[in-house]
Amino acid sequence: MLVAGVDVGSTQTKAVVMDGEPKVVGRSLIETGARLTEAAQEAFSLAVVDAGAEERDVASVVGTGYGRYRVEFGETQVTEISCHARGAVFLFPNTTSVLDVGGQDTKAIRVGGDGQVLDFCMNDKCSAGTGRFLGAASQALELPLGDLGPLALTAKNPVKMTTTCTVFAESEILGWLALGRKMEDVLLGVHVAIASRSVSLLRRVGIEPEITFTGGVSRNAAMVKLLEELTDCPINVSEESHYCGAIGASLYALDRALTRAAAGASGGVLP
């Protein structure tokens, strides 16, 4: 049995195909762009190809992410909060707290042993202190996004950013450079600002080990190191962390497919 989860995020769309074991057997990641339905379909098709399967082999698809209602071929939609919680516990079964820093929002989630959401907090509707902030830094410094973390880790004397506002990020970064500060010091300052804000959100739901870091920003080594320092806890990061929402969605899809197979009806805890 194959199932799939499609996570239509603000920046990137991720799709995962999972077998009944459950194990991830196919994945894809593309830029979301402006056409959400097409992005969802394309990501799904690519993940199915990656799994060496055909779309008709997939018994159930669940959409998640801010564009989840555009996964029109999906059976249902589940929010990314529930999906990241479920996916994090799948990747790291002892997870109690999840931090998901995505393109335009940050979520702190406290989870139960079965991936149930016990509590969650999100940033305000503005994108201050989210992945978008790193995107603004990348543009201002004319550096690829993937270089930001490694370069920040070489810093010795980080600047103290006064804002996490994405709109003001560029002017502040340029201001520090104009004062003669090194690029890596500015970058580390940017990372500290985001990490501090993320940890204060995490405190709202309670910081307890194990903490699992998910979302696109979890691939940034500087962020992982700073979060470990600020929480005084090791941070779980998986190669699959970026796909965590899609993994959670595919687990919900698997619930539905198994329930249907067992009872001849759609089911699962969530609608």
Partner 1 sequence: MAEQKVAERKRPGDGAAPHSELIGATRAESRGLIETWWQEMSEADAEGRPVANVFVMGSIAEILRCFDLPMSFPEITSLQTAVRGKQMEMLVAAEDYGYSPDICGYVKVDVGLHLTGRNHPSGKLPRPALVVSPNTCNTYIKWSEIWERMYGCPVFVLDLPGWRGTGGSVLPGSEEFERDRRYVEGQLRELIALCERITGKTLDLDRLREVMGEVNALAGLYDEVVAENKHHPAPFDAMLDGLNYMGIANAYRGDSRGTAFMRLARDELRERVRLGMGAIPDEKYRLLLIGTACYSHFRRFLELFHSWGGVFAHSEYMSFAGGGIDRGIRYELERPIESMAEQILWSAQQSFSGIFFSQDWQARIVREWDIDGICFHGIKSCRTVSTGLPDEREWQMRTNDIPGLFIQSDLVDARLWSDAQMKNRIDAFFEALASRKAAARR
Residues lying near partner 1 in the complex (CB under 8 A): 66, 78-82, 105, 112, 114, 116-122, 124-125, 204-206, 269-271
Give the span between the Cα atoms of 106 and 199, in whole angstroms.
Answer: 10
User: CB 155 → partner 1: shortest distance, Å?
Assistant: 32
2-8 β-sheet, strand order: 24-31, 12-19, 2-8, 58-64, 76-77
Q: Which is nearer to partner 1, 70 or 191 (CB)?
A: 70
User: CB 209 → partner 1: shortest distance, Å?
Assistant: 18
Q: Which is nearer to partner 1, 179 or 263 (CB)?
A: 263
User: CB 78 → partner 1: shortest distance, Å?
Assistant: 7
Q: Which is nearer to partner 1, 62 or 222 (CB)?
A: 62
DSSP 168: H
Instruction: Name the helix (H) or strand (E) containing 79.
Output: none
Are 114 and 227 contacting, i.e. CB atoms less than 8 angstroms apart? no
Q: Which is nearer to partner 1, 93 or 112 (CB)?
A: 112
Dihedral pair phi/psi, residue 193, rounded to 5°: -60, -45
User: CB 260 → partner 1: shortest distance, Å?
Assistant: 17
Alpha helices in 10-130 (DSSP H): 36-50, 80-91
User: CB 256 → partner 1: shortest distance, Å?
Assistant: 14
- The token pair at 104 is 């335009």
